[in-house]
Amino acid sequence: MLLALIKIAVLVFVLMTATAYLVLLERWVAAWVQDRVGPNRVGIPLTKVRLWGLGQPLADGVKMLLKEQYVPSHVDKFLYTLAPISIMASALALFAVVPFGTIDLGGGYILDLVVAPGIDVGLIYIFALSSVGVYGVILGGWASNNKYSFLGALRSSAQLIAYEIPLGLGILGVILMSNSLRLEEVVNQQAELGVWFAFLQPIGFLVFLVAACAEAGRLPFDLPEAEQELVCGYHTEYSGMRLVMYASAEFIHMITAAVLIVLLFLGGWHFWGITGSEPVAGLGLGLVRLLILLGKIFLVIFLFMMVRWSWPRFRFDQLMSLAWKVMLPLGIVNLVVVAVAVEYFNDAIHERPWLASAVMWAIAIVVWVVTAIVNPRRDDTNLPRLNDELYRPDELGPPSGGYATADLTAAR
Amino acid sequence: MQTPSAMLPIALFIILATALPVGMLVAAKLVGPKKRRGAVKDMPYESGMDPIHGTRRRFDVRFHLVAIAFLVFDVELLFLYPWAVASRDHSAAGPEGVDWAVGEHLVSGRGIVFAGVMIFTFLLALGFAYDWKKGVFRWR
Choose the weakest-confidence range: A146-155, A234-243, A350-359, A399-408.
Answer: A399-408
Q: Pinpoint the alpha helices (H) of A234-282.
A: 240-265
Say if the Cβ atoms of B77 and A169 lie within 8 Å: yes
- Do the beta carbons of residue A125 and residue B14 sit within 8 Å? no
Q: Under an 8 A CB cutoff, do B45 and A148 touch?
A: yes
In a domain, residue A84? The reply is yes
* B21 contacts A88? CB cut-off 8 A: yes
Distances (CA, A) of A395 to A388, A389, A399: 10, 9, 11
A9 & A128 share domain: no
H or E element, residue A81? helix A77-93
B 59-118: CB under 8 A from A: 59, 63, 66-67, 69-70, 73-74, 77, 80-81, 84-89, 110, 114, 117-118
pLDDT given at position B103: 59
**How confident is the model over A405-410, as a mean pLDDT?**
51
Q: For residue B71, tell me if it sits in a domain.
A: yes
Quick one: pLDDT band at residue B97, thresholds 50, 70, 90?
Answer: very low
Let me know if residue A407 belongs to a domain.
no
Residue B131 lies in a domain: yes
Whole domain around residue B81: which residue ranges? 60-89+99-140
**B21·A64 Cβ contact <8 A:** no
The answer on pLDDT for A247 being more than 70 is yes
Residue B72: band (very low, low, confident or very high) from pLDDT cuts 50, 70, 90: confident
DSSP-derived letter for residue A319 is: H
State yes or no: pLDDT of B46 exceeds 80: no
Give mean pLDDT, residues A41-60: 78
* Percent of all residues in chain A with a pLDDT value above 70, rounded to a whole number: 89
- The 3-state secondary structure of chain B, one letter per residue: CCCHHHHHHHHHHHHHHHHHHHHHHHHHHHHCCCCCCCCCCCCCCCCCCCCCCCCCCCCCCHHHHHHHHHHHHHHHHHHHHHHHHHCCCCCCCCCCCCCEEECCEEECHHHHHHHHHHHHHHHHHHHHHHHHHHCCCCCC
Does residue A286 contact residue A217 with C-beta atoms inside 8 Å? no
Residue A400 counted as domain residue? no
* Res. A224 pLDDT band, cuts 50 70 90: low
Closest CA to A224 of A270, A292, A158, A285: A158
Co-location of A197 and A335 in the same domain = yes
Question: Is B119 a member of any domain?
Answer: yes
Q: What is the mean pLDDT of chain A?
A: 81
B42 to chain A, minimum CA–CA distance in Å?
5
Q: How much is the pLDDT for A262?
A: 92
Which long-range CB contacts under 8 A does A298-306 form with residues at least 24 apart? A300/A257, A300/A258, A300/A261, A300/A262, A300/A266, A301/A22, A301/A254, A301/A255, A301/A258, A302/A29, A304/A213, A304/A216, A304/A218, A304/A254, A304/A257, A304/A258, A305/A25, A305/A26, A305/A29, A305/A30, A306/A29, A306/A33
Q: Does residue B14 sit within a domain?
A: no
Say if residue A386's pLDDT is above 60.
no
Domain region containing A24 = 1-66
Is B127 part of any domain? yes
- Which candidate, A408, A391, A411, places its Cα nearest to that of A399? A391
pLDDT at B96 over 50: no
Do residues A45 and A76 both lie within one domain? no
- Residues 6 or more apart in contact with residue A400 via CB below 8 angstroms: none
Q: In chain A, what is the straight-line distance between the N-terminal and C-terminal CA atoms, in Å?
A: 60
Q: Are strands B100-102 and B105-107 parallel, antiparallel or unpaired?
A: antiparallel
Residue type, B72: V
Residues 364-393 of chain A whose Cβ lies under 8 A from any Cβ of chain B = 381-382, 384-385
The answer to whether position B112 is within a domain reads yes
A76 with A27, same domain: the answer is no
The residues, any chain, with a CB within 8 Å of residue A255's CB and separated by 6 or more, are A15, A18, A19, A22, A297, A301
Measured between alpha carbons, how far is B107 from A257 in angstroms, rounded to an integer?
Answer: 42
List CB contacts (< 8 A) between B47 and chain A.
231
Cross-strand bridge partners of residue B128: none
Count how many domains chain B has. 1
Instruction: Note whether A249 and A364 are same-domain residues.
Output: yes
Do A79 and A128 fall into the same domain? yes
Is A170 found in the same domain as A37?
no
Answer whether residue B7 is part of any domain.
Answer: no
Same domain, A345 and A203: yes
**Residue B58 region by backbone torsions, left for phi larger than 0, else alpha for psi between -120 and 50, else beta:** beta
Looking at residue B93, its pLDDT comes to 45
Query: Does A326 fall in a domain?
Result: yes
Query: Does B108 have pLDDT greater than 70?
Result: no
Please indicate, yes or no, whether residues A58 and A194 belong to a single structural domain of this protein. Answer: no
Condensed to tens digits (0 to 9), the pLDDT of residues A185-201 reads 888 888 888 888 888 88
Cα separation, A194 vs A274, whole angstroms: 12
Question: Any alpha helices (H) in A311-404, and if so which ranges?
Answer: 316-321, 328-344, 346-351, 353-373, 388-391, 393-396
**Global confidence as pTM:** 0.83
Q: Which of these, A1, A8, A37, A22, lies nearest to A251 by C-alpha position? A: A22
Q: Say if A44 is an interface residue toward chain B (CB within 8 Å).
A: no
Tell which of A16, A171, A175 to mutate to test the B interface (max B CBs under 10 Å). A175
Q: Is A43 part of a structural domain of the chain?
A: yes
Mean pLDDT value across residues A126-150 = 84
Q: Is A18 on the interface with B (CB under 8 A)?
A: no
Same domain, A55 and A86: no
Last residue of a domain, one of A22, A39, A66: A66
pLDDT attached to residue A411: 46
Residue where a domain terminates, one of A16, A32, A66: A66
Please answer yes or no on whether A115 and B35 come within 8 Å at the CB atom.
no
> Quick check: is B72 in a domain?
yes
Q: Looking at the domain assignment, is residue A304 inside a domain?
A: yes
pLDDT score for A409: 53
State whether A48 and A188 are in the same domain.
no
Share of chain A above pLDDT 90, in %: 4
Q: CA-CA distance, A85 to A142, in Å (whole number)?
A: 15
Residue A399 belongs to some domain of the structure: no
pLDDT at A298: 92
When pLDDT is averaged across residues B114-122 and rounded to a whole number, the result is 86
Q: What is the DSSP string of A98-140?
A: ----EEE-STT-EEESSSSTT-TTHHHHHHHHHHHHHHHHHHH
The region of weakest confidence among A55-59, A185-189, A400-404 is A400-404
**Same domain, yes or no: A84 and A108:** yes
The count of structural domains within chain A is: 2
Q: What is the pLDDT of residue A389?
A: 46
> Does the model's ipTM exceed the 0.90 cut?
no
